[in-house]
Structure 1
């Protein structure tokens, strides 16, 4: 890494000191499974290898994460089925509430999912086997497939996490591409929350047939801070310019037709996912610059049609995203020719 890159990284980090959690405010954990285990109905899965546990929220003994602070959290789970005759069926739960699920019907199938939710301090999130299911999760010290990870996007209380546009309260926090002023920063600190937070997560709670070019409408909203996700259209419209991370997952209900989805920004294809077997699961993610007012959505690939599986108690299909940091297009300098990002002062 060049000296100028290091210096600019520090500058950008300083601009975000009142945005993304820093220092003692960081809450993040990641744990993996290093041995094969048999799990039974409703059993909490204990991930035994801790990669990181900033904030001390993850309990290695119980397998549960307890939020040390109230705020908006992102979680991701993955599993790998060791059985040849029993389906893997895993649920991510908040207290006793089902969030999202993953499943694998074939021997050595792999699956994952993600969600963003609000947690009050002291609330628990954990991974468990679905009730009435038993199976084996594969793992070895040198083959860590099953993981449970999470981090706090922004600290806030429940009233501030309501799914409305928080920016109506603070329309100038912070100005696009600029570090917040001391006055605005003090206002931010006084309200004890990240007013710059943009985060949404939505899931599919019913089986839906998608035809060529259809936008997938994820109907269950877990969170929608910033108000960017439109439940009626399935489209996320960026309320602020910046660098965003997006994840999407799906589960194929067909026995004879391939699942094929695309993540699109405006009209530009970003990334795809596909499943060619019955009950196949797939996901993908991307980090990109999105300008204020630009749209991101999940759609069915042209010329394809298939059925996506979902139920209220089996949420496999998800569309999740959040703002990593604010900046304008000039600062992001996303080169369409090289796909690389460069940071410069002044003109270039």
Structure 2
């Protein structure tokens, strides 16, 4: 595959996908191509999960390290039997409760899954997306689809078709544009091969929801910033979600956070830097007076953290469009989907945290 190939752009109805467009994308996947498609979390970059050569095209298009495993997307419960060596006892309960939806389950892989998908591990991550376009595409292809986020590796994940085109136009065969993703952060990844089910990546299904079903649930130290050498799930090892500007998280009592952010804006602007602030609707009015940031993005309300999650990656990309050198982001409570928001912010900031 060479850069400069023609990328087909397929605008589609996200609720009632046009069958001829789905079939066109399915044909591309069946012949070993790569297609970006919407899910409820973020856009995925898909290839036939049973074809190692097709999967390698994902890695080349993204510039993704080969030891970073992929998630396999399916459209029926029957598909699981062929893709795992055995079904852990808790898996059926979780699938019945959360599938289709933003939960990936790590289970022992079957011999059908090539090493390219799992980075040579003996486990595989499976997910059943709920987005109608993703469901229709998988069913039409009649194959499991390996799909990481459809962005250049290390960049903020894409939540619109236009985000995908900005990163991957000319590098992939097609983009199916089904409008903005609703969850906005990737799926929760839960390891069922450990003695206690362990969250390797927080996402659209929360720790609290999993705990209510399973009782005891662990959180991998990598979720809160500890580095790992051999990742069992995407996003555990490498720099992720990073815009061009340097991201700093400002944490502490909210009133002190606002004061510290305003002081940092003034200090960096005196040094000739363009400064963006990622705020919430509760704090945004306090950044309207001088010193004002060069760009202010309101992510949503702290009372509705789901809106913050949905807007986060788009906001980081908007900071690039406004040529921000420095990006100051307020932190949120690490409960509910806030755990996923803070995981992504830490990755974006490479753990640069300023305490107010």
Higher helix content, 1 or 2: 2
TM-score between the two structures when normalised by the length of structure 2: 0.27
Higher strand content, 1 or 2: 1
TM-score between the two structures when normalised by the length of structure 1: 0.28
